[in-house]
Amino acid sequence: MNEALISLQKRINSGTAVVGIYGLGYVGLPLALRFCEVGIKVIGFDIDDSKVDALNSGKSYIERLTPQRIKSAFAQGMEATTDFSRSREADALIVCVPTPLNAHREPDLSFVINTVEAILPHFRAGQLLSLESTTWPGTTDEELAPRLEAKGFTPGKNCALVFSPEREDPGNPDYGTHDIPKVISGMTPSCLELGQAIYQHAIRTLVTVSSTRTAEMTKLLENIHRAVNIGLVNEMKIVADKMGIDIHEVIRAAATKPFGFTAYHPGPGLGGHCIPIDPFYLTWKAKEYGINTRFIELAGEINHYMPHWVVQKVADALNDHGKAIKGSRILLLGLAYKKNIDDSRESPTVEIMELLQSKGAVVDYSDPHIPTFPKKRDYHFDLDSVTLTADSIASYDCLILATDHDSFDYGLLESQAHLIVDTRGRLKKQSNVIAA
């Protein structure tokens, strides 16, 4: 390491290094707060003025991160800004921005590339750049390293470059940011050494791997494993439904086996920013090597089909009650992609709403965690969450339990609804409850 990197290592080891977090969302903001909690100075960067303004006012836009935690972090010196020129003040620059798919279901690295391009004019020797965004194997060395080198920065010589994928699990009370083992690798051994040094301040366990490509593939395998198994159990649900078998009872029985079985649960489709998206990052990259990832793509097809399956179940249920989808008032219960959180990214509920509306239904939603329908790139609903009362429930022709929040009063729903389509296996078996 040259003098700039030796100086960086000294600042990191002494706890005086400044961390810059780019993207103050569901990944970046918890990480920023964690660094603050251990006494590390943090500058948070985001292109969204409303997020920066909220944080600087001591407010939180993520339900599980309380305003008190925000205020405490800022009392310890955290700052939030849209001014990327302040990147030169940071020693470790950690990128936590989205990696979505484009309209052709191909990787969209624009958020990562645009962030790095915004950083580069202010990048200096002796800084560490870490990418946490999920992406295809090769991104760090094929996309980030050449951009640094074009500006005169060589990883391992006068700067450090690492990849350390995020492993946040919103709504999981047992694992916070610091509890979850963190995979990390660097472009060179010295890059890895510096990456470990900064992250070990905030993360309890670090798992080092031999290359950034290995780290990138590790994150994809984690999420593909879940996507494939959820696709399997969703297909099993369809088969079981046709056979008149309760798939949830089957899963509960199978889960009593103490070895060789892991319980995955079916639902209305996949949600969140990882599982519906990440598999396609590998399928896209695999084509470069002449490989067709049929197994992964088949699971994706099944999971993508599930909202359509739910809508068909709603149509059949309404038909049995002498009604059509067109003109029916339908209430979706749960906008978040999983229970007890306020995150609706890629939520299958939204696609179900769009499909029902396209068939002429009047749709509403109820979600105590999401009071107003958020802005989305592809879907536009000017709606507020409906408060569940005996009268409001009874005013709908059909309810769809899409996300089984613990805060729902299931007894009230079961007693007052004319018809409920249950996609989560949460409700009692009775005449007005239809499994989907």
Q: In Å, what is the CA distance from 46 to each residue of 21, 114, 278, 413? A: 9, 12, 23, 41
Q: Is 274 a catalytic residue?
A: yes
What's the pLDDT score for residue 378? 80
Q: Does 3-208 match 247-435 in CATH topology?
A: yes
Token representation of residue 75:
């009392």
| Assigned CATH topology for domain 3-208 | Rossmann fold (3.40.50)
What's the pLDDT score for residue 173? 83
Give the start-to-end residue ranges of the domains of the chain. 3-208, 247-435
CATH of 247-435, one of 3.90.1150.10, 3.40.1690.10, 3.40.718.10, 3.40.50.720: 3.40.50.720
Mean pLDDT per 10-residue segment, the chain (436 residues) = 92 97 97 97 97 97 95 96 98 97 91 98 98 97 98 97 93 88 98 98 97 98 96 97 96 97 95 89 95 94 96 97 97 97 95 97 98 89 97 98 98 97 95 95
Which residues does residue 184 pair with via DSSP β-bridges, in sequence order?
208
User: Whole-model pTM?
Assistant: 0.94
What's the pLDDT score for residue 156? 97
For 173-176, the CB contacts below 8 A with 24+ separation are 176/30, 176/34
DSSP code for 144: I
Give the contacts of 422 (CB within 8 A, at least 6 positions apart): 401, 433, 434, 435, 436
Catalytic entry in 36, 96, 159, 274 = 274
First to last CA, the chain: 59
